[in-house]
Every structure is written in C-alpha cells, then in structure tokens.
Structure 1
Amino acid sequence: MKMVALSAFEDIIADLQEIEKLSLPEFKQTPLKVCYTNDNNTETTYDGSGPPLPFAASKIFDADILTWKRLTAANEDCKAVYEITLDVEDSSLTFKAGDTVGIIPQNDDSDIGFIVNHLNLASTVDLPYSIIIESNIKGSKLPIHIPVKSTLRHVLRYCVELRSLLKKAFLLSLSRYTKDDEERKILEYLCSKEGSAAYTNHVLNKRLCILDIFSIFKTCKPPIEVLLGNLPRLLPRPYSIVNSGLKNNKVMKICFSVMTSNNRKGLTTGWLERLILNREATLENGFKNMNISIESQSKQKVSIYLRKNFSMFCLPENLEKPLILIGPGTGVSPFIGFLEEREFLKETNQDIQFGDVHLYFGCRNPKLDFIYEEQLNTYLAKGTLNKLFTAFSRVNSEKKYIQDALTESGKEVVKLIKEGAHVYICGDLNTMAVEVKEILINCFVEHGDMTLEEAKAKISYMQKEHQYVVDAWS
C-alpha cells in the first residue's frame, strides 16, 4: 500500500490484523447512469423546479463588488478578515441591520481539476449529459440537487459539496471501486461496526472529504455516478450584513474571515478572497483599512439572496429599550449595522429618549485584529454607543476573553436587563454563545437576587420574548 495511507492509518492496519470479519452496512448500488451526448446543448435542467433556496426572502441577485478592505493586519499571527461592498442598487433587496444574505458558492478550480484528473474525466467533463434512473435498483431516485441534464463540470462546480464529511455508506461504495487490497480493507474498516472509533478519529475529527480520500487512496476510482449519488448539495452560505439598508439600500457590506482546514482555505471565504485579490495581487495590497477600488478592473460578481430573519435578530421596535451587544471577532460585524441604524433612527426620531447601548468585543491583539475599531470609537464619541467593553487574549500573560469582561461588569448587565435591555449575541455557537449564557445566568444569581432556577427561567423567558437573541454558527 502507498506510504501516504500507511503513515496516516497505522493504528487501523494493526487493528485489522486481529479482526477476522467486519460488520459492514448494507451496500446500495447507485441507480444513476450518466449518458453523454454531442449535441452542444449544455443547458442545465432539473427534474422539477430544482433545489429550493434555504430561508429565501428574495430571488438571487448577481451583485458587483464595488470595493473591499482588509480589516486585520497582514500578519501571520491573525486570520485575514475582509469587508466587501456590493452594489445592490438595481436589486429589489430590502434589508435592515441584523439581516443575513445567502452567498451562492462555487467549488475551487483546483478541487474540480483534481477530481477530473483522478477519475479520468477530461474527455467527458464538458460534454452535455442526461441521467437515466435504473428503476430496478432499490431506492431509485435522483437527488434533488443533481440536474437531469447538464455537464459534469457544472455539477462539480455548483451542485455538489466536495468538502463534505463522508458518511459510512459512501465509504463502503468507495471501497467497492478500490483496487489495492490494503486500501480497500481500510475503507471497509472505517465504515464497519468494529471501526466506529476509527471512523470518528480519522474521518469526523480530521474532517476528511472526498478530496482527501482520493489523495490518500490512490486506487480508489469510482464511476462519477457514485459521487453524484452520495455527495450532498453545495448549499448557500449565510453571512451577516454589516450595514443598514434603512440608511443606504444601494450598497450591502459583508464581513468574513478566511478560515483554513486541512491546508485548504474555506470554500466561500477563500473564493471571495481570490475574487477581491484578483488572483494576481499579493497580501501586501491588503494593509488594514486600505480601501481598494475595483472600478478600474473588470467587475467581479457575487450571487446573493436575502434570507428570512426567523430569529428576530434585529433592533427592537421600542427604541427606548437599552441594548447589550456581545460579539467577539467577526461577531461584531452585524452590530456595526445596529449602530448605524440606531444613529439613523436617532436623527429621525429626536423626540424619543433612546436607551443605552453597551457593546462587548473581544479579539487576540488590538494592534492586529481589532476590526471596526475606528467605527466603534466614532459611535462612542457620538453617543450612539454608550459603553465599549473589550477583551484581548494575546496581549498580556493573563488571557482575557469576552466572557471575563461580562463577568466583571455583571452588576451593570443585570441592571440594564432589569430596565428591559435586549441582549444580542453573535459568534461561535459551540463555545462562546454557550459560555455567555452561563455567565449571564451566574450574573442574575450574584447580582439579581435570583436562585439558579429563577435565573435559568429568566433567560428562557427572554428567549421566548425575543429579548435574548443569538445569531451563531458552528
């Protein structure tokens, strides 16, 4: 077996030597059959209306990128965070602070090229195809996101998620088209009952995708139908809108950080970064707060649509209510829209006594990744923002997080909530959002004269009344 696979799965090889028979899931043969034509008709059609847009509140609009700027320092100690400004003047999009858009992503050219080369699809990838469903096979059905007519390149670019985690049934199918015995046995072990721990450790925890499988298991070369039948849909990615459409609905701003996993940049964030850097610019062009116009270059388009705001992550109708905004890192971005909208409403409702606004922001180092620092200080000076609490985790030997800042000001937090404050949290669902909830419960107990049960009930009531709203991602 290839050295790459040997080094990556040494523990599995040892386990396999002690197992006589594996308990495998049921193998399901793919009912799809791709037939190619030479009629030059590459139009994409679905069996029906095609896959719906999740939580859509508008149709898709192709927006030009007007400008962009890098919000973090060009430093290896912090992630690249960008803000892009989209031209939506000719759209029918109506949005407010707190709304989100869905960005229609596309798979990377290098990922597509790798699949094409590995499966020897060069001669067919751009040919028109039609898909036949073999009805004699159990579970014969075309996945809703796979066009009945199109080209493989279109499907690989826009329709399937090449970086999705691999289910066990998919791994079993892949093993059936793996020539090398040791490679095949490892794939079978990963999807077996006996290899359940190995599946968690090697596939789930390491987030292996089909690109990784083909890189490691060189002789795994299934028919393209196996991929079409098992790869999930390439879903739109939700992003918070940074600005308020009440003040200016001609442009829309989006903030994003470029994530990296398994030495790959994030699918959508990496694509957006390549768009704005135009594939030729270097990171030297992206110093913090540098605005770069794209008007002189060929316009780059991003397909977007407005999403329904089911969570009510928006300013309360009662403008007199205080606000507590909690957003570390890029979680602060929708609150820039909140403050912009709040300032606009103040100017147009001068007879109303607006409630105080307290904002909690955290990052590693204020010299590297304090995004929107200038805007926040401006809102602070104007009185749109009344207090700004910060926490920096990489400045002194003693790390300080946004949770610490909340604990330190717990008495003030409880006082504002008793005055009817609305609490908004934006950030990571699995860590920050959970810990913030626990801290607020502790604040009620310590400073609000409540029992633990009463504090938990208070948070639950606030959630039910949309007084405690979370916009989080995992």
Structure 2
Amino acid sequence: MVLLNNFLDIIESLPAEQHFSLPVLKQNSLKIEFDNDDNVTTVYNGSPPLLPFAESDVFYASISKSRRLTSLEGDCKAVYEVTFDVKGSNLNFKAGDTIGVIPHNDESDVNFIISHLDLTLKADHCYTLSVDASVKGSKIPAHVPVKSTLRYILTNCLDLRSVLKKLFLLALSKHTKEEKERKILEYLCSKEGSLAYTAHILDKGLCVLDIFTIFKSCKPPIEVILANLPRLLPRPYSIVNSGLKNNVTMTICFSVMTVNNRKGLTTGWLENKILNELNLEHQLQNLSLTKEENNDFLVPIYLRKNMSMFSLPEDLQTPLILIGPGTGVAPFIGFLEEREYVKENKPDTKLGEAWLFFGCRNPELDFIYEKELKDFLSKEILNKLSTAFSRIDDNKQYVQDVLSHNAVELVQLINDGATVYICGDLNTMAAQVKDVFVKAFVEQDNMTVEEAGKKIAELQKNKRYFVDAWS
C-alpha cells in the first residue's frame, strides 16, 4: 500500500538507533467480560449520553421524496435534497433551524473491526465492562455502555472514522507485533515525528480503520478501542423549508463527500436510502413491515436548539445580505420561503431588501436551487442575486470576489441597518468573507484594520452578523 511505503520511507531515513520522545501513556483500566446471556440489554453507568443541543425528542422519519440537485455529468459532486415526513412529531421549526441526524457506522466497517480483532465469536454476546480500581483516575467513558454487545456499540456508540490522536496511536503501537510497523506508529506519535503525524494522519484524515488496513499486525484488545474512540455524534443539517408554511414535511440538502475512498458516514447512508427507495422491491418490502420493524428504514432525527439565533430578524423591513455558496444556500431558501409566506398572508407587509450571494463550480452542473431563486426574484421576495462560478474558463470567481466587487453597496447597506448571514465552510469561506468585509470597511469607511475588526465584532454582538459554518 502506498501509505505504508511512505511511512517506511520516513523510517528508513532515520538513524538505526533512533530513540523517540514519546508522550506518557496511562495504563488502560478497562476490563471486559462476556457471557452467554440471550437477554441482551444496553445499560450505561448512569443516564445515556444526551443528544447535543436537543430541542426535541428523537423522531423516526420516513423519506417522502428526494431528488438529486446536481448534474450526473462532468466532474460534479453529488448533492441531494431529501424531504422527511414529520407529521405527528413535535418538531416545531422555522427557517434557519437545524436538525441532528443520528448516524450509525457501516456494517462493513463494523465487521472489519470485529474480524481484524478476532472477535467474531464474541461480537453478539453480552459483555460487562468494569474498571481496575487500583488504577488512579480510572473510569468508563460516558458514551460507552457498561453492558451491551460489541456489535451494538461499534455500530451506534463509537466513531470509527475519527482522526487518530497521538495517545491512541501510542496505545496501538503497544499491540503491534511487526517491528517496522510498531516503529512507524511510535514515530508518528513522537515529538520527532510531529510533522509526519500532521502530514500522514491529520491531513489525510486517517482513522482506526486505515491503521488496521495498513498495519496488519496491529491487534489491540477491544478495551483499548473502547477507551480511546470518541462518541459517534449526530450530524447537523440546515433545514431548507420554512415550518410556517408547512410543518408536516421537513427538507434538507447535503453533498456526498469521499475521504480515503469512503463516502461520508451519514451522507453516504442517506444516498443509499434514496437510491434504494427507487427500487420497487425495496418499497414493497418496506410497506410490508410493522412500524417497529420499519425503524431500520427510517431516519432518526431531532430538532437542535438555534443557539446562534440564525433566523430572520423580527422586523422584516431589515435589509438582508445572504451569503451561501454551495449547500450553504440551504437555510436561505427557508428565509425566502418565510418572507413569501408572510407577504402572501399579510400583503401590506413591507419587506426589506434581500441580496443573496451564491457560488458554485459551473452553472450548468451544480447551480442548486436555481429555479427557486429565480422564482423568488420574479416575485420580488429576493431583490438581488449575485453569482460566482469557479470553473468557468473566461470568468473564474468565488463568492468572496463578487462581494469585493460590490463593496461600496454592501458597506452602505450595512450602515443603513442590514443584517449579514453567512453559511458555509468555517475554515475557508467564512474566514475569507470576514476578511472581505474588513477590507471593505477599511476602504469605504476609512477605518483601520483593527477598527474594522471591532465593527464586525460589534455587529455580531448586536445580532447583525451571523455565521452558520461547519469545518
């Protein structure tokens, strides 16, 4: 494997008697015992872990409809829209809210871990987990049940795809028999190997599945896995539609990412569900199941608290600057839908100007919600739509470029009371958009960079500059 060869090249360049400066590894205090009890229950040491930012109970939703938003042609990332049937739920949502989708690990990944660690005969037996009281500070991780089956917790509780931390790598090295493989793992978690760790683990997003694939002789006790893998957390998604207009269906959109030849855990699963729904045999099988059995075909979701208050201002006359490239446009479809609903039901309502900035690669391939946005324009629910396309040979642009070109009007709009909403990637887009506004304030309002930064901080404090971003 190429990755292993890269690691070997690094090790072979080191002196033969190289000794590494390794972090201190605490003794693993977890102890596991198996029995043949057929009455398998999942029990935590206390209450089960809470769902992050939960505003509702979990609801098992069926997919009422779905569609692909991007083209099947060209080098185009798959983006889908999924609409859930939430009739009978307590999901009272509005534009700007998000849901959490509760994922589970792929069956193939779970089976790989079980097989690699020679646990096939024990995977479905009930276990009991305890700690060695003689080890100082010993405790069972809160997200790991003290009683369950390994298959259940590997499927539902542990994030098998989390990027490996150095202490976890060191723990794995202690159970790696082949000397070169062990030396590589030790080097990666050492002080001397910090650059290699960044280049080969962090930057490549390697997880325990990759380590077991590359380093065949690495076979730790399951207790090491339980002690080191973090919790498998729900994935947040912006709601596309407004609950004011329709609260019995809920729509999200998502792009399917691929890392190390694996599709995104939740997005890949939802894509498979969408494609399976097109299969008539699958639909008939789904209909024949009882409600309890049907849960395997439903999607567990819950409403998240809108901690950032990413929602329309109470005064609808407030001008809006909406910035959402790619799937970042999702919540703004809900914003516009909500403005349309108010306008239809209260015709005398005056709406503030709404200016949306959208970017994608190619308008022929991935201009998602183009029809809807143009419809909002024709109804004057949206007043301006500025676009940027980064894969057009004669005019490559990003949203940040278009914002810069309109700096004079944007600064004037903000000074007139506009609220700014940014939705998208935190590390690149959101940070670069902030830099554009800082530069615009410097050039248009004769501020220093420091003053411009303080102005944005003040806008945020006054709920006039919102960022809904992911990393």
TM-score under structure 2 length normalisation:
0.94
Distance 1:139 1:305, change over 3 A: same
Q: Are 1:303 and 2:300 matched, yes or no?
A: yes
Distance 1:370 1:297 in 2: 35
Report the identity percentage: 61
Given candidates 397, 401, 410, the residue that maps to 2:407 is: 410
Q: How far apart are residue 135 of structure 1 and its match? A: 1.0
SS at match of 1:30: coil
Quick check: 1:379 aligned with 2:376? yes
Change (3 A) 1:69 1:38: same
Q: Which residue pairs with 2:141 in the alignment?
A: 143
Residue 68 of structure 1 aligns to a residue in which SS?
strand
Match of 1:352 in 2: 349
Deviating above 4 A after TM superposition, structure 1's stretches of 4 or more consecutive aligned residues are 3-6, 294-297
Query: Could you say which residue in structure 1 is the equivalent of 2:422?
Result: 425
For residues 297 and 397 of structure 1, the distance between their equivalents in structure 2, rounded to whole angstroms, comes to: 51
Q: Using a 3 Å threshold, how does the CA distance of structure 1 residues 5 and 390 change in structure 2: closer, same or farther?
A: closer
Cα RMSD (Å) of the superposition? 1.8
Counterpart-to-counterpart distance in 1, 2:197 and 2:456: 38
In structure 1, distance between residues paired with 2:422 and 2:278? 37
Q: Is the 8 A contact 2:8 2:184 kept in 1?
A: no
**Where do 1:265-414 residues align within 5 Å?**
265-278=263-276, 298=286, 300-414=297-411
**1:183 partner amino acid:** E
Distance 1:47 1:369, change over 3 A: same
Query: Which residue identity lines up with residue 255 of structure 2 in the other structure?
Result: S
Describe the superposition over 1:189-221 as per-residue Cα deviations: whole angstroms up to 9, x where unpaired: 111122222211111111111001001100101
Deviation at 1:297, TM superposition (A): 6.4
Mapped to 2, the partners of 1:74 and 1:5 lie a distance apart of 31
Higher mean C-alpha displacement, 345-354 vs 48-57: 345-354
Measured in 1, the distance between the counterparts of 2:84 and 2:91 equals 12
- Tell me which moved more, 415-424 or 238-247: 415-424
Structure 2 residues not aligned, in runs of 5+: 287-293
Give 1:44 deviation, angstroms: 0.9
Give the letter aligned to residue 124 of structure 2.
D
Whole-angstrom CA distance in 2 between matches of 1:123 and 1:353 = 68
User: SS in structure 1 opposite 2:233?
Assistant: coil
Give me the whole-angstrom Cα distance separating, in 2, the residues matched to 1:194 and 1:297. 56
Q: Residue in 2 aligned with 1:289?
A: none
Deviations 1:353-383 (A, max 9, x none): 2101000000000110000001001101111
C-alpha distance in structure 1 between counterparts of 2:120 and 2:394, whole Å: 55
> How far 1:451 sits from its partner (Å)?
4.1
Amino acid at match of 2:331: P
Deviation for aligned residue 1:276: 1.2
Whether the 8 Å CA contact 1:5–1:217 is kept in 2: the answer is no
Q: Offset of 1:295 from its aligned partner?
A: 6.6
Q: Which amino acid aligns with 2:434?
A: K
Change (3 A) 1:130 1:242: same
Residues 234-262 of structure 1 deviation map (CA, whole Å, 9 limit, x = unaligned): 01111100011111110110110000111
Q: Secondary structure at the match of 1:461?
A: helix
Deviation of the 1:19 alpha carbon: 4.4
Q: Residue 288 of structure 1 corresponds to which residue in structure 2? A: none
The residue number in structure 2 matching 1:63 is: 61
Amino acid across the alignment from 1:355 = G
Q: Distance in 1 between matches of 2:53 and 2:422?
A: 21
Stretch moving more, 393-402 or 104-113: 393-402
SS in 2 for 1:248: coil
Query: What's the TM-score, normalizing by structure 1?
Result: 0.94
Aligned to 2:469: 472
| Contact 2:241–2:333 under 8 Å retained in 1 | yes
Structure 1 residue 335: deviation in Å? 0.4
Among 41, 44, 47, the alignment partner of 1:46 is 44
Partner of 1:461: 458
Structure 2 residue identity aligned to 1:92: N
* 1:162 aligned partner, one-letter code: L
Distance 1:428 1:451 in 2: 27
**Alpha-carbon distance in 2 for matches of 1:339, 1:280:** 31
Distance in 1 (alpha carbons) for counterparts of 2:454 and 2:400: 21
User: Is it true that 1:85 corresponds to 2:79 in the alignment?
Assistant: no
**295-304 vs 134-143, greater mean Cα deviation:** 295-304
Aligned to 1:244: 242
